[in-house]
Amino acid sequence: MQPEEATRALREVDALRRRTLSERRSTWFPLVLFGVLALGAAVACEVGDDRTVALYWTVAGPAGGIATGAYAYRRSLRVGVAASPLPYLATAVAILVGASLAGAISTGSARTTAPYLVVALGFLVFAWLERHLVAAVAAVVGLVAAVAVVATGPVHGCAILSATFGLGFASTGLALRRREHG
Partner 1 sequence: MSDEVHPSQRLDDTVHQRVRLGILAVLAEADRADFTYLRDQLGLTDGNLSRHLQVLEDAGYLRLRKSFEGRRPRTWVSATRAGRAALAAEVAALRQLIARLDG
Which residue ranges make up the site for partner 1 (CB under 8 A)?
A: 1-3, 6-7, 9-10, 12-13, 16-17, 19-21, 24, 77, 79-85
- As measured in angstroms, the least distance from the Cβ of 73 to partner 1 is 12
Angle, CA 154 vertex, CA 35 and CA 148 arms, to 5°: 65
Measured CA to CA, the distance from residue 76 to residue 23 in angstroms comes to: 9
Asked whether 40 and 177 are in contact (CB, 8 A), the reply is: no
CA distance 162 to 155: 13
User: In angstroms, what is the minimal distance from the CB of 20 to partner 1?
Assistant: 4
Q: Which is nearer to partner 1, 74 or 178 (CB)?
A: 74
Nearest-approach distance from CB 24 to partner 1, in angstroms: 5
Q: Which is nearer to partner 1, 21 or 39 (CB)?
A: 21
Q: Work out how close the CB of 37 gets to partner 1 at its nearest, in angstroms, rounded to a whole number.
A: 27
Q: What are phi and psi of 150, to 5 degrees?
A: -65, -40
Query: What is the total residue count of the chain?
Result: 182
Which has the closest alpha carbon to 63: 23, 96, 112? 96
**Which residue's CB is nearer to partner 1, number 8 or number 178?**
8
Complex with partner 1: residue 92 or 120, whichever CB lies closer: 92
